[in-house]
Structure 1
Amino acid sequence: MDSALMDAAVARAKVGDRPAFGQLWLDLSPRVAAYLRSHGVADAEDVTSEVFLAVFRQMDRFSGGGAAFRALVFTVAHRRQVDWHRQRTRRGTWLTLDDLGSEPASPSAESAALAAIADEQVVAALGTLTADQRSVLALRVVAELSLEETAAVLGKDLGAVKSLQHRALARLRRKLSPDPYPRDALARLNARHA
């Protein structure tokens, strides 16, 4: 959704327009779920629903346009993701239906979508990042937040966010392309200059 449409949807949602809430949900919920999944939240769809429930409950007090709304949504998502991990630490391992081992008769829509999107190499590479680096990349790429908005969501200064983004991208580049040059490139270069 472009910024003008989002601004209009937010303005309508502030006065209780249900279709506007639906538009905001449809536009942002896949990004929120992806952000949560990138941080290892197993029940990302449930937590996404909690995020939007919390955001929509405070719409009457919200001021700002689409960009501020998106930043609010991802601020709440970040906090819920932290809470989710704290709960898992206190309560121990939580089994999902997938962990129980019984395969459903047909794959769920979620499983099919995740299978189509998930690339094991990218997931493994994201696993090598620190939690802060993953958060910065997810907010910048998935949520499409600016550096300033990302800094506000994470409660960090702008320089720290830039540094985290730079280090995360450099680490991903090394992980995904450990050998940036063809094996024989140096031999060919040396042969030309000999």
Structure 2
Amino acid sequence: MGTADLDTALDAARRGDERGFTDLWVSLNPLILRYLWVLVGQCAEDVASETWLHAARDVREFRGDAAGFRVWLFRVARHRALDEMRRAGRRPEDPSGLPGIGTDSTREHAAPDDTADAALERLSTEQALQMIAQLPKNQREAVMLRVIIGLDAKQTAQVLGKRAGAVRIAAMRGLRGLSGLLSDAAALTEAPPIREALVEPAGHARSTDSGAATRATGFVDEVTP
């Protein structure tokens, strides 16, 4: 669904039109789930449900366009995820239930950017998200929101409550750390390309920002201060 269609759906949802709200959910929920998965793992669906309940309650009061709604929705999702972490006593820096990937390698191993780019082409969506989940929390969120979801630095900063410069640095460091994990995994898998899978859920139209994943190429150069 394109930006204009999302604006139309948002306007309808604000008027109480159930179809408009459903269109927002179909377009944005797959991305919300992926973002939440790297924060709260298998609780992602429950937290997403809480996020949409909040949205359904408050959407009529929202003022802004579809781009602003997307930022607002991810901020709500993040707050619900932080609540879940506190309830579960989970450390955000130590995601559980992710097999086969050591947490120390992201701190030590930084392969060239072109190696990470090539490895992305060979990983499944699940493998990629598992690797992103191994990054420190600030880097993991910055990579997800900037590269996978497609928010710009200012929008990501609004979601995270940080400065845009800090977001750029966290994304740069996250991608450099991720490149080592990706290059190691490239030799171990023959999975289909990930770029489209990360932004185009099966059974749904392409994401509102169809170039989100492809911005991984050259992204480190863009965010270098």
User: TM-score by structure 1 length?
Assistant: 0.73
Q: CA deviation at 1:131?
A: 0.4
Residues 74 and 143 in structure 1, CA contact (< 8 A), matched pair in contact too: no
- Aligned counterpart, 2:219: none
Moved over 4 A (4+): none
Superposed counterparts of 1:164-175, under 5 Å: 164-175=170-181
Residues 13 and 21 in structure 1, CA contact (< 8 A), matched pair in contact too: yes
Superposed counterparts of 1:61-140, under 5 Å: 61-89=61-89, 117-119=125-127, 122-140=128-146
Residues 35 and 138 in structure 1, CA contact (< 8 A), matched pair in contact too: yes
Q: Secondary structure at the match of 2:89?
A: helix
Bigger radius of gyration: 1
Deviations 1:7-39 (A, max 9, x none): 111111111110000000011111111111111
2:155 aligned residue (120, 126, 149): 149
Q: Which amino acid aligns with 1:75?
A: R
Q: Which amino acid aligns with 1:21?
A: F
Residues 36 and 81 in structure 1, CA contact (< 8 A), matched pair in contact too: yes
Taking the aligned partners of 2:20 and 2:177, their CA distance within structure 1 comes to: 40
- The structure whose residues are more often helix, as a share, is 1
Q: Which amino acid aligns with 1:137?
A: V
Identity %: 36
- Aligned counterpart, 2:98: none
Q: Does 1:9 align with 2:15?
A: no
Q: CA deviation at 1:129?
A: 1.0
Gaps of 5+ in 2: 91-123, 185-225
Taking the aligned partners of 2:76 and 2:41, their CA distance within structure 1 comes to: 14
Gaps of 5+ in 1: 91-115, 179-194
Q: CA deviation at 1:123?
A: 4.5
CA RMSD in angstroms comes to 1.7
Q: Which amino acid aligns with 2:86?
A: R
Taking the aligned partners of 1:118 and 1:144, their CA distance within structure 2 comes to: 19
Count of residue correspondences: 151
User: TM-score by structure 2 length?
Assistant: 0.63
Q: Which amino acid aligns with 1:38?
A: V
